[in-house]
Structure 1
Amino acid sequence: MSFLPALLAVSLAAVHALAGRLRLLDRVPRSRWLSFAGGVSVSYVFVHLLPELGEHQEAFDGVGPVAGLVDQHVYLLALVGFASFYGLERLAQRSRARRSTDGPNAETSTTDGVFWLHMGSFALYNVLIGYLLVHREAPGVASLLFFAVAMVLHFLVNDTGLRHYHRDAYDRIGRWSLALAVVVGWLLGSILTVRTLTVGALTAFLGGGVVLNVIKEELPEERESRFWAFAVGAAGYAALLLAV
């Protein structure tokens, strides 16, 4: 099975490298395919990822100075992931500056500093995803494929959102950095093995980040998102996960 994580890492990297060519995704009203992809990603977190981590909650019991204060360590870490990416989102929103153009429709983008902060944060996020292609809470080909499909669709959502904020800088630099980060994560997973506790913590953080990164793209009124496409994606993937 060792070749499969490598193949999936390359496939995930290709999403960032090539998604910009799918111009039908970057439009208003929001593409139903993006809403569908967001539904699948969130469904994976709530139906598979967090319940799976909850079954391993005992690994967190008695660990660290907060053990006596917080019983649900897994969900606390998911909250940290959610809040961290919420902070990045607010920072990007506030930093968008007017960019002069020759046409009647001015584009907007973030400042250079926020661009690099965003890319650095999402690069680490992608390194984590690449690492989890090799080391996850639940082993096996089925678990790997469910994870990879959810992340491929999640990357489509992330790629569109990051391009919306960073424009040309993302196409020139950002997408290649994030594509490379996935492969780096897979390479690290191939040569390094960390404690099960650490894998659980990183996975919980990832779960919170996935939920925020999907919801922030679906909720803004100006995106005119497709609720039914989101619901179909969420319900369909949930049914598939529960059936297997």
Structure 2
Amino acid sequence: MILATGLAALCLAALHLEVRLLAPALDAPRSPWLSAAGGAAAAYVFVHIFPGLCDGQEALRRTGWAFVAVLDRHVFLIALLGLLVFYGLERAALAARGGRQNPPVGAGSRGAGVFWLHLVSFGLYNFLIGYLLVNRVQPGPVSLVTYFAAMALHMAAGDYGLRRHFTDDYRRLGRKVLAGAILAGWAVGTALRVHEAVLAILFAFLAGGVIMNTMKDEIPLDGSGNFPAFALGATGYGVLLLLV
């Protein structure tokens, strides 16, 4: 299984490095393929991750940790936190650009700090994705394939957003850092497995991040999302997950 997860990590890293080659087919007007990919990633969260978080909630209760006695629905609050973190990042990038229609943020502009904030945040996000390739709540080859496919689709759509905000900086540095973060997360995952309750927290944060990073491109103010393609991707991958 280590070999299989390692191959999956390499493929996800290569996707970050080379998905730009598909840019003419994916860029504005926003491709229906990106919307379908976002729908599939969202379906994975709602059909696969969220039900698993209920088991994670029980794992948290069994730990007896102090904060568990204070808060209820802990893993779902973590998912909400993930959504809020990436919502804040998106708002910061839009503010630095002065709107979606303005040029991307450059390293020498007033938004340089926003680029580095995104780079660190998405680097940690990709590290988490790589780590969870090895340490998933539900182990096994079927779980690996569905997780890998959902994250690959999610990253293809996410890459579009990062290139849109930070074109030159992302091409020169960002994509390399994010590709390396996936491999680093996988490497740590092969050597370190955390408590099942911590694993549930990590998956919850990932779920919130996936939902936000998907929907921010599907419901922008300029209306560039593609609802039929998004619905088709969500329905198709949702049915597939139910069948496996």
TM-score normalized by the length of structure 1 = 0.93
- The answer (yes or no) to whether the contact 2:105–2:112 under 8 Å persists in 1 is no
Q: What is the aligned partner in structure 2 of residue 108 from structure 1?
A: 104
* Separation in structure 1 between the aligned mates of residue 218 and residue 191 of structure 2, nearest angstrom: 37
Residue 71 of structure 1, CA deviation: 2.1
- The answer (yes or no) to whether the contact 1:16–1:178 under 8 Å persists in 2 is yes
Alignment-mate amino acid for residue 88 of structure 1: L
Matched pairs, number? 237
- The answer (yes or no) to whether the contact 1:137–1:199 under 8 Å persists in 2 is yes
| Residues 223/13 of structure 1: CA separation in 2 closer, same or farther (3 Å cut) | farther
- Does the alignment pair 1:81 with 2:82? yes
* Separation in structure 2 between the aligned mates of residue 56 and residue 116 of structure 1, nearest angstrom: 33
Matches of residues 142-181 of structure 1 in structure 2 within 5 Å?
A: 142-181=142-181
- Does the alignment pair 1:26 with 2:27? yes
* Separation in structure 2 between the aligned mates of residue 67 and residue 55 of structure 1, nearest angstrom: 15
Residue 106 of structure 1, CA deviation: 6.9
* Separation in structure 2 between the aligned mates of residue 120 and residue 55 of structure 1, nearest angstrom: 30
Residues 67-107 of structure 1, C-alpha deviation per residue, up to 9 Å, x if partnerless? 23432111111001011111111111111269xxxxxx973
Q: What is the aligned partner in structure 2 of residue 102 from structure 1?
A: none
Alignment-mate amino acid for residue 48 of structure 1: H
Identity %: 46
Gap runs ≥5 in structure 1 = 99-104
Matches of residues 90-129 of structure 1 in structure 2 within 5 Å?
A: 90-96=91-97, 107-109=103-105, 111-129=111-129
Residues 176-201 of structure 1, C-alpha deviation per residue, up to 9 Å, x if partnerless? 11011000000000111211111110
- The answer (yes or no) to whether the contact 1:97–1:109 under 8 Å persists in 2 is no
Bigger drift between 191-200 and 136-145 goes to 191-200
Matches of residues 40-79 of structure 1 in structure 2 within 5 Å?
A: 40-61=40-61, 63-79=64-80
Residue 134 of structure 1, CA deviation: 0.3
Alignment-mate amino acid for residue 150 of structure 1: A
Matches of residues 218-237 of structure 1 in structure 2 within 5 Å?
A: 218-237=218-237
Gap runs ≥5 in structure 2 = none
**Which structure has the highest helix share of the two?**
2
- The answer (yes or no) to whether the contact 1:17–1:175 under 8 Å persists in 2 is yes
Residue 223 of structure 1, CA deviation: 5.0
- The answer (yes or no) to whether the contact 2:37–2:157 under 8 Å persists in 1 is yes
Q: Secondary structure at the match of 1:144?
A: helix
- Does the alignment pair 1:17 with 2:13? no
- The answer (yes or no) to whether the contact 1:97–1:108 under 8 Å persists in 2 is no
TM-score normalized by the length of structure 2 = 0.93
Q: What is the aligned partner in structure 2 of residue 199 from structure 1?
A: 199
* Separation in structure 2 between the aligned mates of residue 40 and residue 169 of structure 1, nearest angstrom: 28
